[in-house]
Amino acid sequence: MTPPIVAIDGPAGAGKSTVARQLARRLGFTMIDTGAIYRSVALAARRAQVAWDDDAGLQALLKSGLGLTFLPVPEADDAQRVLLNGRDVSAAIRTPEISRGASVVSARPVVRENLLGLQRELGRAAVNGAVLEGRDIGTVVFPDARVKFFLTASDEARAQRRHSELADKGLHLPLSEVLGDQRRRDRDDTERAISPLKAAPDAIVVDTTGLDLSEVVERCFQLARQGIERLPQP
């Protein structure tokens, strides 16, 4: 039996990660950041010298097993570490270069098909329930998810959030560069032929522009709790 699944989809910078982490903590669910999986594929490919658009090379890499583990870090509140073959790659998968790579590999059908089973296994293995964050969770990975959110925000608000996050990590890029990069990634995500970014017809769309993310978490928590309690177990 599949545990209750909460899907959170939307473009980069809409607040998905923060909301997914805090929502999972409040519901007592496991948080699964599916973007980190695509990022890990891009990093693994780079390390194995497989080009991000080399379908045969990517297929071989994925078939040999990614060796991906998510570890919660309780002392760091909601943080989670990502291990690739036992090595901590949490920071290495967040560089601008690997962000570009993740965008390229995520458009390859061979990658999406290979990762579908993994994402479903991770969700089903979460005993109490799972919050999965991504682009196609409510449309493709778990179309029967109990509750679906589609988080969005204006281009400027999203770029501003990303700009501040990067500055917190010591990376000071011009806002215009962050905005330009974001628009390119949005275009790639929404225009790709396979599993493009779009809201599921039954998703609750939340525009987070100008909202404090703690308000968004509170609103999503109430809606998720109602959704989980209301529906019978499948």
Per CB under 6 A, which of residues 77..116 are in contact with ligand DC?
102-103, 106
Q: Which is nearer to ligand DC, 39 or 146 (CB)?
A: 39
- C-beta of 25: minimal distance to ligand DC in Å? 19
Stretch that binds ligand DC, among 20-28, 31-39, 50-58, 62-70 (CB under 6 A): 31-39
- C-beta of 225: minimal distance to ligand DC in Å? 24
135 binds ligand DC (CB under 6 A): yes
Q: Which is nearer to ligand DC, 105 or 217 (CB)?
A: 105
- C-beta of 111: minimal distance to ligand DC in Å? 9
For 115: left if phi > 0, alpha if psi spans -120 to 50, otherwise beta; the answer is: alpha
31 within 8 A of 80, measured Cβ to Cβ = yes
User: Considering only residues 22, 68, 138, 189, which one is a binding residue for ligand DC as defined by CB under 6 A?
Assistant: 189
Stretch that binds ligand DC, among 47-55, 128-136, 167-175, 219-227 (CB under 6 A): 128-136
Measured between alpha carbons, how far is 103 from 139 in angstroms, rounded to an integer? 19
162 binds ligand DC (CB under 6 A): no
4 binds ligand DC (CB under 6 A): no
Find how far residue 108's CA is from the centre of its chain.
17
Q: Which is nearer to ligand DC, 160 or 225 (CB)?
A: 160
- What does 43-99 look like in DSSP terms, one character per residue? HHHHHTT--TT-HHHHHHHHHT---EEEEE-GGGTT-EEEEETTEE-TTGGGSHHHH
Measured between alpha carbons, how far is 68 from 118 in angstroms, rounded to an integer? 10
User: Considering only residues 6, 8, 12, 82, which one is a binding residue for ligand DC as defined by CB under 6 A?
Assistant: 12
Measured between alpha carbons, how far is 166 from 101 in angstroms, rounded to an integer? 18
152 binds ligand DC (CB under 6 A): no
Q: Where are the beta strands (DSSP E) in the chain?
A: 5-9, 30-33, 68-72, 80-84, 87-88, 130-134, 147-152, 204-207
Q: Which is nearer to ligand DC, 112 or 146 (CB)?
A: 112
How large is the greatest C-alpha to C-alpha distance in the chain, in angstroms?
49
Query: Cβ neighbours of residue 176 under 8 Å, at least 6 residues apart?
Result: none
134 binds ligand DC (CB under 6 A): yes
Count residues binding ligand DC (CB under 6 A): 13
Residues that bind ligand DC (CB under 6 A): 12, 34-35, 38-39, 102-103, 106, 134-136, 185, 189
